[in-house]
């Protein structure tokens, strides 16, 4: 068992949290006191100083790991083909791709006309645009239908409020168009001069759709639609057929779509089917009909319908694929002669191909028993090929073009990984028994021989929220753990979507505790199987996965040795009570609304910040982003402060705040690797495995 960290070298103590008048509030007749509420004051110099002091403390506490950090970083870098290009995709007359150059943080976007043998045209060099910036991200990248202009957006803070611009591709010069506070949705009409985009409100919710004419001022833009309901996000996209623009309005459990002929951008969007609480539908266009995927009429796992484009209301929907309690429909891709339906069967993603001319259907065969697969960059409508990506815990990401007529697949590109031999590693799926008897899948990968000598060190991760599936994917960075005989595992807990829609429904709202108890059961099962022990078990999760970390470490701190919580959503009650915070209103349908007594009583049972107790906690590394709009920096900061003041152990507790980034951490690929190396070094240090 390792000893408590010795910091006598620097005599650096943990940063004290300045005493402030506690913030008092009352809800449902219950008095609530928040001693660290003041850390929300981002403009307060004391807050910034506190975060910087925490960073300085973290630097000191991690100083002895610098050599290991460097070694891991160099290992990860050595596996990457630094000068490389992505799989080209065809759009109009061009093949588009991006390439990376050794030593440069960001991609360079390019195209070639007619074939990949043609002369390269550089569209955008992100490295030049990022010069002198601590953070840089491209939000939208949309080429006009005639291929002459690029509508793109950039963010220099990490707060996901983008500035939209338009570029003449041949000259590489901006045309003067500039719109602030846009979000991720940007779409061209077919006239090559009209752009639709969404803007965000003060809470960072995309709530308005605007129409912009190239060459005009943003002040002249026309507001097309305003979504007043705080639970709904607004987006815009064009169908693959290029026939329609689709205005999407989506809450956590309800959707509504409106459509407009892409040739008449000044027209009025028409409602497909008016929203109905807890009913979702999604659509794609094909000829004189829309395909509609919906959970209407208690089709929990969704069913497939069709409706004429002239009569889109639900009364006209005709069933094509019936609801199946064992199979979940996850997505649609309509082509001229084919329809591809993404499904999940027994926890695995599968692709069903439907020949719309012959009515024949078949599934795309996958080479491994556990994997992750999804359709990829499919921009052409009149084609017999569908592109999909494939990966597994041992197989690097591979891009395939699959001929839907001949069933032949062509490997377009597989991520090249140096110094990696897949035959040295083994993966499998096992099942833990949850508290209520449910089988919880766990995907595992390890170096052959790692388990030959009994329990070893194990790194367990999970997510379990929003119906998102944490599929088993390959990671070049993860190899650094595997090569050190550390087993890597993913717990596919409820709240995610791995095992179907009910898997999600049974891990949200008043069933959220299943997410946490499933994870605990997974950890206990790995120990019971002799793979690891509690003093050799590290766990990690980010964002809602950080909530998972906070909840399970409160519930079973004895079960884990090391915890990494990345940008963790831990102040659940306070955040869900504050509608000025981004995402709060829309997430009431994920977590519940604590303004309702039943929801309050349930959430307060697991909210990590509210359940910190005077007891021993494992070694913990907590990260934050100062400009994070999704999980505000103060959540991990407040949680750290409360843990420092309350816990009874001498174990390590570190807070690392990126002062120039948001939810995703560092934006450059090299900087991102350094952050990963830092976290791995922390885990190795606490395991006593420093190189």
CATH for 602:
3.40.50.1820
Residue 490 resides in a domain: yes
Pair (303, 409) in one structural domain: no
Annotated catalytic residues are 543, 628, 663
Residue 361, Ramachandran bin (φ over 0: left; ψ between -120 and 50: alpha; else beta) = beta
Pair (425, 412) in one structural domain: no
Pair (384, 397) in one structural domain: yes
Picking from 307, 323, 339, the residue at the C-terminal end of a domain is 323
Global pTM exceeds 0.75: yes
| Angle, vertex CA 523, rays to CA 301 and CA 587, nearest 5 | 45
d(CA 229, CA 86): 40
For 262-397, where are the E strands, in sequence order?
270-271, 281-286, 289-294, 303-308, 318-321, 327-334, 338-345, 348-355, 361-363, 372-375, 385-391
DSSP secondary structure of 449-507: TTTTTS---EEEEE---TT--------TTTHHHHTTT-EEEEE--BTBSTT-HHHHHTT
What's the confidence (pLDDT) of residue 12?
63
Residue 243 resides in a domain: no
Q: What is the pLDDT of residues 521-532, one digit of tens each?
A: 999 999 999 999
Contacts (Cβ under 8 Å, ≥6 apart) of 172: 122, 123
What's the confidence (pLDDT) of residue 41?
94
Q: Is 3 exposed, middle or buried (0-12, 13-18, 19+ CB in 10 A)?
A: exposed
Q: Which residue in 267, 249, 247, 250 sits closest to 259, CA to CA?
A: 247
Pair (393, 311) in one structural domain: no
Q: What is the pLDDT of residues 292-318, one digit of tens each?
A: 999 999 999 999 999 999 999 999 999
What's the confidence (pLDDT) of residue 629?
87
What's the confidence (pLDDT) of residue 19?
62
Pair (412, 455) in one structural domain: no
What's the confidence (pLDDT) of residue 565?
98
DSSP state, residue 144: -
Q: In sequence order, what are the beta bridge partners of 43?
A: none
Pair (582, 447) in one structural domain: yes
Pair (304, 360) in one structural domain: no
Picking from 381, 416, 451, the residue at the C-terminal end of a domain is 416
Domain that holds residue 31: 23-77+419-687
Pair (490, 432) in one structural domain: yes
Residue 36, Ramachandran bin (φ over 0: left; ψ between -120 and 50: alpha; else beta) = alpha
Picking from 416, 434, 451, the residue at the C-terminal end of a domain is 416
What's the confidence (pLDDT) of residue 480?
98
d(CA 563, CA 683): 8
Pair (467, 573) in one structural domain: yes
Residue 142 resides in a domain: no
d(CA 684, CA 591): 34
How many domains does the chain divide into? 3
What's the confidence (pLDDT) of residue 229?
95
Residues of the chain with pLDDT under 70: 1-12, 18-19, 665
């Amino acid at each position: 068992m390792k000893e408590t960290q010795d910091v006598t070298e620097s005599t650096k103590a943990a940063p004290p949290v300045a005493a402030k008048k506690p913030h008092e509030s009352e809800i449902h007749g219950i008095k609530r006191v928040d001693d660290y509420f003041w850390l929300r004051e981002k403009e307060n110099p004391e807050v910034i100083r506190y975060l910087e002091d925490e960073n300085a403390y973290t630097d000191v506490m991690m100083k002895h790991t610098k050599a290991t950090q460097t070694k891991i970083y160099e290992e990860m870098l050595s596996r990457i083909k630094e000068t490389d290009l992505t799989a080209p995709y065809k759009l109009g007359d061009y093949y588009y791709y991006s390439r990376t150059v050794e030593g440069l943080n960001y991609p360079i976007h390019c195209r070639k006309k007619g074939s990949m043998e043609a002369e390269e045209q550089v569209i955008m060099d992100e490295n030049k645009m990022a010069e002198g910036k601590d953070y840089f991200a491209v939000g939208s990248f949309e080429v006009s239908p005639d291929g002459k202009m690029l509508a793109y957006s950039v963010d220099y803070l990490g707060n996901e409020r983008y500035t939209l611009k338009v570029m003449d591709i041949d000259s590489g010069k901006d045309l003067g168009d500039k719109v602030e506070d846009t979000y991720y949705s940007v779409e061209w009409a077919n006239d090559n001069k009209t752009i639709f985009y969404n803007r965000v409100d003060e809470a960072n919710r995309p709530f308005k759709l605007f129409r912009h004419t190239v060459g005009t001022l943003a002040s002249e833009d026309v507001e097309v639609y305003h979504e007043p309901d705080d639970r709904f996000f607004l987006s815009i996209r064009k169908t693959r057929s290029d026939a329609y623009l689709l205005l999407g309005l989506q809450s956590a459990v309800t959707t509504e779509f409106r459509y407009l002929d892409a040739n008449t951008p000044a027209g009025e969007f028409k409602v497909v089917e008016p929203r109905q609480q807890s009913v979702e539908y999604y659509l794609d266009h094909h000829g004189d009909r829309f395909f509609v995927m919906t959970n209407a009429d208690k089709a929990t796992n969704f069913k497939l319908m069709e409706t004429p484009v002239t009569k889109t209301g639900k009364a006209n929907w005709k069933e094509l694929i019936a609801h199946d309690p064992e199979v979940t429909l996850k997505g649609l891709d309509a082509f001229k002669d084919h329809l591809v339906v993404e499904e999940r069967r027994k926890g695995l993603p599968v692709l069903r191909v439907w020949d719309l001319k012959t009515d024949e259907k078949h599934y795309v065969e996958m080479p491994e028993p556990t994997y992750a697969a999804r359709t990829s960059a499919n921009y052409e409508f009149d084609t017999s090929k569908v592109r999909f990506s494939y990966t597994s815990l041992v197989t690097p990401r591979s891009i395939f073009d699959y001929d839907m007529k001949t069933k032949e697949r062509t490997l377009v590109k597989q991520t090249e990984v140096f110094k990696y031999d897949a035959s040295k590693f083994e993966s499998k799926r096992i099942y833990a028994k949850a508290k209520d008897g449910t089988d919880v899948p766990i995907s595992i990968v390890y170096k052959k021989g790692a388990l030959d000598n009994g329990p070893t060190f194990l790194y367990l991760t999970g997510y379990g929220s929003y119906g998102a599936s944490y599929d088993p994917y390959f990671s070049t960075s993860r190899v650094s753990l595997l090569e050190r005989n550390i087993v890597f595992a993913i717990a596919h807990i409820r709240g995610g979507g791995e095992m179907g829609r009910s898997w999600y429904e049974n891990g949200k709202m008043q069933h959220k505790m299943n997410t946490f108890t499933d994870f605990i059961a997974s950890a206990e099962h790995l120990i019971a199987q002799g793979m690891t022990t509690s003093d050799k078990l590290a766990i990690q999760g980010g964002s809602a996965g950080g909530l998972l970390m906070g909840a399970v470490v409160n519930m079973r701190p004895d079960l884990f040795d090391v915890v990494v919580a990345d940008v963790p959503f831990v102040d659940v009650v306070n955040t869900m009570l504050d509608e000025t915070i981004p995402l709060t209103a829309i997430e009431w349908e994920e977590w519940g609304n604590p303004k309702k007594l039943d929801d309050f009583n349930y959430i307060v049972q697991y909210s990590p910040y509210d359940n910190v107790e005077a007891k021993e906690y494992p070694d913990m590394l907590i990260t934050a982003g100062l400009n994070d709009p999704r999980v505000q920096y103060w959540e991990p900061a407040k949680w750290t402060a409360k843990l420092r003041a309350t816990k009874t152990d001498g174990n390590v507790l570190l807070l690392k705040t990126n002062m120039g980034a948001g939810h995703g951490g560092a934006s450059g690929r090299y900087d991102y690797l350094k952050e990963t190396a830092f976290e791995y070094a922390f885990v190795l240090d606490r395991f006593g495995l420093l190189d």
